[in-house]
Structure 1
Amino acid sequence: MTQSTQPLPGAAPAAVPGDLGWHLGMVLRGYQTRFEAAVEAMPAGIRGFQVLSAVVHRDPPNQQALGAHLAIDRTVLTYLIDALVDAGVVERVPDPADRRARKVIATAAGRRMLTRYEDRVAAAEADLLAGLEEDDARALGRLIGRLAREVHRTQPGTSPCEAMDNL
């Protein structure tokens, strides 16, 4: 007796190899659209938000560590930090461990700005996940986080932006 590959009536069809990429791409596009709108007035946009968030929440010891964490080329990172310095939301200070290196720290205005934008980003994320049950949305966040950490562990220098550009 052979098994049918046809789904039962009302059942979800079996996954087709390659569908995961399409699904992730569609979710990422929906996320990107909402994220861009949420941070549109932020200095340096999405990347500026990511830099400011990493400075506040991750406290990297120096500019090089910040770039490595975000997988941003040091030349690009310099321009992003310059834009945030010009906006008065971060400043460069000498790294206490190495005076040749610079540590990027948030100003009080930067911390206030990040709080406002985090509220906007949280609302954008909630909007994206609105089609899921609350438990499913939490489970998705946990699973995606676990998968992302595993990919980062096995490919630590990988840039998610570059990956999407090449998809």
Structure 2
Amino acid sequence: MKPRAEAEPLTLDTDLGWAIRMVSAAFRRVATDSVTDLPGGARGYLVLVALAGGSEPPSQLALAKEVSLDRTVMTYLLDDLEAHDLVTRKPDPRDRRARQVLLTDTGRARLAEVREKLGAAEARLLTDLDAKDTEQLRTLLARVAQTAQREVIGPDAAEC
């Protein structure tokens, strides 16, 4: 990918950093209410999403890495989620020292409730995009997020 040409006029509405900051701040504002009563808030939500999407229960360490959280923070977050019956932990049959994390039925139901609220919040933020543009934006952002997770950002460097 080529860098932006130096001769291009630089304005806020063409600056990637400004756009990311504005979208991130707006998303946090509209999404906060959706996850506010979930243990761990946005972090708890990300853990539930990661568990719902996986086929094999991850270890605590693998889950922390997947959602870009420090393993100590992950332990406290899982304690809270488990206390609310949203997740459960069991010894990993391949490594008794490790613990697998599983989404409970209560956690799955709670995630569906939060997803519904969050979907409405996302729709407000994406109101100026049609369905095709929305899907393209999600696809491109997911690719950039994967690059950022892999190459740029360490654990807890950014809040969701």
With the shorter chain as reference, the TM-score category is 0.7 to 0.9
Unaligned runs of 5+ in 1: 6-12
The C-alpha deviation readout for 1:13-71, integer Å capped at 9, x for no partner, is 94448821011100000111111111111111111111111122124421010011111
Distance in 2 (alpha carbons) for counterparts of 1:138 and 1:74: 32
2:118 maps to amino acid: V
Among 55, 59, 64, the alignment partner of 1:62 is 59
Correspondence for 1:22: 18
Report the 3-state secondary structure (helix = DSSP H, G, I; strand = E; otherwise coil) of the residue aligned with 1:42: coil
1:162 maps to amino acid: A
Alignment of 1:1-167 (within 5 A): 14-16=9-11, 19-58=15-54, 59-155=56-152, 158-159=154-155, 161-163=156-158
Report the 3-state secondary structure (helix = DSSP H, G, I; strand = E; otherwise coil) of the residue aligned with 1:43: coil
- Contact (CA 8 Å) 1:94, 1:101: kept in 2 or not? yes
Q: Which has the higher contact order (CA 8 A, sep 6+)?
A: 2
Coordinate RMSD, CA, aligned? 2.4
Distance in 1 (alpha carbons) for counterparts of 2:147 and 2:15: 20
What's the offset of the Cα at 1:146? Answer: 2.1
Distance in 2 (alpha carbons) for counterparts of 1:112 and 1:69: 22
The C-alpha deviation readout for 1:105-148, integer Å capped at 9, x for no partner, is 11111111111111111221111101223322222122222222
1:49 maps to amino acid: Y
Given the two structures, how large is their TM-score scaled by the length of structure 2? 0.83
Report the 3-state secondary structure (helix = DSSP H, G, I; strand = E; otherwise coil) of the residue aligned with 1:162: coil
Larger Rg: 1
Unaligned runs of 5+ in 2: 1-6
Given the two structures, how large is their TM-score scaled by the length of structure 1? 0.80
What's the offset of the Cα at 1:74? Answer: 1.1
